[in-house]
Amino acid sequence: MIKINRKFNPKIFLAITGLMLSFSVGHAQVNKFKYKANVSDVTTSGVYKIELDQAFTAKSTSRGLYDVRLVDETGKFVAYGISHILIAETKPVFVEFPEVKQNTANDTATVYIAKYDGKPAIGKLWLKLKNTTTSRLLSLSGSDDLRHWYAIKEDVQLQSADSDNENTEYEQMLSFPVINYHYFRVIISNNKKDFVKVTHMGEYVADSIPLIEYEPAPPIKLTRKDGYKLTSYFVDWDNSYLIDAIHIDVDSPQYYRRRITIYDVGNKGETKLYETTISSSLDNSIYLSMKTNRLRIDVQNGDDNPIKFAGMTASSLRNFAVAYLAKGHRYYLLTGDSSAKEVSYDLTFMNSKPMLQFLPIGHSAVYKNPAYGKLVVKVSRDYTQLIWISIAAVLILLSLLTWRMVRELGAK
C-alpha cells in the first residue's frame, strides 16, 4: 500500500477559493425598463436640457413621465428634472401663502395649512423647514372649504438639510399636476417622535414671462359616427402620445354653437376629460393634458343637422430632462417600467440659470433595452488581478502535490 504524505491544509484551499468567489452580486434596476435611448456625447461639463422626443415619451407608462430615468455608463441613476417651460430671464421671488391656524392640535403629525387664491393653477409648491435630518413621509392635499380634503400627493420622502447649509432653514419642492385649490395642507407623519418645524409654504415667481413651446403631435386618423342627436368623432394615433392641445376645424354648418364632451377611450376604459362649447365665433382650440392613443369627441346636435369636422390637429408641449452632465461620461435614458414611481432628487441645479441658457442636447432614436428582463450581475469592485493570482497559486500548489506524488511512486 502506497502512502503519500500530502501536507495539504484545507484551510488554504478554502481561503483561495474564497478569494476567487468574493464578488458583490446584485440585480441592477436597469433591467426593469423596456426602452432605451442614448444621450448625445457630452463635450463640456454643465447643466443640460435633454429634449425628449415624442417617440420616446410615447413609450412612458405615465402622463407625468414618472418612469423616465437618466443613467450613466456605470449603471448609476443621475438626478434630473422634467420641465417644459423655457424662461428667458428669471429672478425668482418667494411668494408666501398665508398660514391658516388650526383650532386643534395634532399629536401624531405635523400639519401645516396655507391659503391660496386659486389663480392661476399651479403645479409646484415650496416648503421651508427648520433644519433637520430626520426620515419622515409627507402628504399633500387640497381643499376649497377647509372641510373636504382631496389627495394631491402622498408618501413623499422628506428631504434633509445639507450639512454645509449656512442658514437655519432649508427648502423642499413638491411638484404635481396643475391644480387650483384654495387651500393646501401638508401632513408630516411623526411616528411618535418629535415634531419637525414647517415655517413657510409658497411658490417662487419669476419677474419674466415663461415661454411655453408647443410642437405638432404625430398625424391622426379621424373617423365619424352619427347617432340620434349626437355625432361622435374618433381620433386615433399610432401610439400613446402626450397631448396638450387640440384644434378643431369645422366644415359645416357655417354658423354653429355646439356642446362637446371629450373622452379618453384608449387606455382600456373610458375617462371623461373635458366638456366645453365650440362655436363659429371661437378659435376652437382646446387645452388639456393627457397621454392616449384614442379620443372620442361627442357633439350634441340636438335637432340640428350633424356637425361636420374638416379636420383636427393636435400638439404637445416640448419636454426636457434637465440634468448636470459631466464631460467624458456616457449617459442614456430609460423608460417603460409600469411599476416605477416618481423619484425625488435635489434639483438645485435647475435654479442655477434661466432654462434658455442651459446647454441643449438630444438623444438617439428609442430602441428596446437589451437588458430588459435579464439578470444583470454587478461587480462592486474589480477583482480580476486577484483572481488570476489565486488561479496561479492553485496551479502551483497542484503541480507541487503532483510532483511529490510521482517522486514517491518512483521511490516505491
Do 93-205 and 214-317 show the same overall fold?
yes
93-205: what fold? Jelly Rolls (2.60.120)
Rounded to two decimals, what is the model's pTM?
0.57
DSSP-based three-state secondary structure for 29: helix
DSSP line for 73-126? TTS-EE--EEE-EE-SS---EEEEPPB---SS--SSEEEEEEE----S-EEEEE
- Exposure of 401 in the CB half-sphere (CA atoms within 13 A): 12
Of 1.20.59.20, 2.60.15.10, 2.60.120.10, 2.60.120.260, the CATH number of 214-317 is 2.60.120.260
The dihedrals phi and psi of 87, each to the nearest 5 degrees, come to -120, 125
Interhelix angle 384-411/10-20, nearest 10 degrees: 150
pLDDT in tens, the chain (412 residues): 334 344 444 444 444 444 443 333 333 478 899 999 999 999 999 999 999 999 999 999 988 899 999 999 999 999 999 988 765 555 678 889 999 988 777 778 899 999 998 788 898 999 999 999 888 999 999 999 998 999 999 999 998 888 777 889 999 999 898 888 999 999 998 888 888 999 999 998 866 666 778 899 999 999 999 999 999 999 999 999 999 999 999 999 999 999 999 999 987 789 999 999 999 999 999 998 899 999 999 999 999 999 999 999 999 999 999 999 999 999 999 999 988 888 889 888 887 877 788 899 999 999 999 988 875 555 555 666 777 787 888 888 888 888 778 777 777 6
Domain residue ranges in the chain: 29-89+322-368, 93-205, 214-317
DSSP 68: -
To which residue does cell 502506497 refer? Answer: 2
